Amino acid sequence: MDSVWTISTRLPTFEPLKEDIKTDVLIIGGGLAGLLCTWRLKQAGVDAALVEADTICSGITKNTTAKITSQHGLVYDALIRKMGAEKAKLYLQANQNALQQYRELCRSIDCDFEEQDAFVYALHSRQKIDRELEALRRLDFDATFAKDLPLPFPVAGAVRFPNQAQFHPLKFAAGIAKDLRIYEHTKVRELMPGKAVTNGGTISAKKIIIATHFPMINKHGGYFIKLYQHRSYVLALKNAPSFDGMYLDEDEKGLSFRHYEGMLLLGGGSHRSGKQGGNWHELERFAKQHYPDAEITARWATQDCMTLDHVPYIGRYAKNTPDLYVATGFNKWGMTSSMVAADILVDLVQEKQNPYADVFDPSRSILHPQLFLNAAESTINLLTPTVPRCPHMGCALKYNKAEHTWDCPCHGSRFAEDGTLIDNPATDDKRM
């Protein structure tokens, strides 16, 4: 189950921590968000160190579809209604700014960066497309309507974002990581103000950024109720039709399409972690029907943290943690959001103002319908009298037949059949 990125790249390796150290900023988590924070801090002249419990990019980053875009579904009409046009425009600007920073940085990194238009299509509702286009007009963004897409089915219409991008995420990560102060196989066992105790030594830091996908501390911030996790699946197909552009169904259970090195990357089969879904079987059926000559060359799955309002949580971990920061809840758009996170957090840890910080503030209102759905899911699974249980907060685990894992429907922790931890927020293996 290696992605096309994993099988085509060799990342640099780093020694584990073997002594007590001091640093101005400690970053916990070696995915792209953590790497970009560390890289940006080094560029700013700030002493920073990153620790990763496994190896860099061994979690979610290696399983992305690697789109860099401000088009996050049909999100802008909803953002204007929920947050107002001013904040919706700041959200758009933050992501467009992130895209531009990738564009500039990738000029000096060989990572297969290429500009592509991005499309979100609707199968049946032209009205949804029209509402999104009107919202983008209010935000002065040059989106256009599209109808005839190079997909094997008709659509009611699509919203086109020009000049977005795609790249090879691990080649990019290798390019920025090689000269950073990184400690792999260094697991944080205890976190306290200004200090992290790891399996290799104690790290003293003035500021700490948690970039571990799902935040690791339950007693602050309420992330266990503000987030849930969502799985999706990808097939790499050789001998499928080639076309330009990146395409995504506006329905979260729909399909996505992009190309890399002559392969079609077909995504979909989505479901909430711990629930049943279409997984690779759905993609295989689609490919067999529409691309009968295609050959599957790789398959993989990924997991995304979803927020209550579809905006990431980037900023101070909680109101009462002045020197602790977080980047999480990227809602399936981890590449762009990682750069947004680095932009905001590098300013905040230096006690500088950032124009986008208020939009992504983790302490914003949690009064959204998804909050009650998350609470209901947790309550049901906490009361389910079955074993095994998740060591994170005690929810009943569900068996994932497609991936042969035990998954938590409350918060998304995942375990191999022998109990080995695969995905957080759990921090330890589960005894099966």
317 and 351 housed in the same domain: yes
**Number of CB atoms found within 10 A of residue 335's CB:** 25
Rounded (10°) CA dihedral 177, 180, 181, 185:
10
Comparing 332 with 216, the larger pLDDT belongs to 332
Q: Which of 100-109, 137-146, 362-371, 380-389 has the lowest mean pLDDT?
A: 380-389
414 and 397 housed in the same domain: yes
* pLDDT tens sequence across 154-172: 999 999 999 999 999 999 9
Cis check for the bond before 388: say yes or no (omega within 30 of 0). yes
Instruction: Decide if 402 is inside a domain.
Output: yes
We report the CATH number of the domain holding residue 258 as: 3.30.70
We report the CATH number of the domain holding residue 314 as: 3.50.50.60
Rounded to an integer, what is the distance from CA 129 to the centroid of its chain? 25
The span from the CA of 318 to the CA of 320, in Å, is: 5
Q: Look at residue 412 in the predicted model and tell me its pLDDT.
A: 76
Query: What pTM was estimated for this model as a whole?
Result: 0.93
Rounded to an integer, what is the distance from CA 314 to the centroid of its chain? 12
Strand partners, 248: 120, 256
In this prediction, residues 222-249 reach a mean pLDDT of 94
* pLDDT tens sequence across 120-138: 999 998 999 999 999 999 9
We report the CATH number of the domain holding residue 383 as: 2.102.10.10
Q: In the structure, what pLDDT confidence band is assigned to residue 364 with cuts at 50, 70 and 90?
A: very high
Instruction: Decide if 408 is inside a domain.
Output: yes
Q: Is the pLDDT of residue 379 over 80?
A: no
End-of-domain residue from the set 255, 276, 302: 302
Instruction: Decide if 415 is inside a domain.
Output: yes
Q: In the structure, what pLDDT confidence band is assigned to residue 432 with cuts at 50, 70 and 90?
A: low
Q: Look at residue 430 in the predicted model and tell me its pLDDT.
A: 67
Give phi and psi for 34, each to the nearest 5.
Answer: -65, -40
Q: In the structure, what pLDDT confidence band is assigned to residue 313 with cuts at 50, 70 and 90?
A: very high
Instruction: Decide if 10 is inside a domain.
Output: yes
Q: Is the pLDDT of residue 195 over 80?
A: yes
Domain with 38 in it: 6-64+170-226+309-360
Give phi and psi for 10, each to the nearest 5.
Answer: -115, 115
End-of-domain residue from the set 342, 360, 378: 360
58 and 181 housed in the same domain: yes
Question: Which residues, in sequence order, are CB contacts of 202 under 8 Å at separation 6+?
Answer: 20, 195, 196
Q: Is the pLDDT of residue 218 over 90?
A: no
End-of-domain residue from the set 302, 322, 345: 302
Cα separations (Å) of 343 from 53, 281, 336, 347? Answer: 24, 39, 11, 7
276 and 393 housed in the same domain: no
Which residue has tokens 């700013």? 44
222 and 233 housed in the same domain: no
Instruction: Decide if 380 is inside a domain.
Output: yes
Closest to 181 (Cα-Cα) out of 286, 56, 69, 351:
56
* pLDDT tens sequence across 27-69: 999 999 999 999 999 999 999 999 999 999 999 999 999 999 9
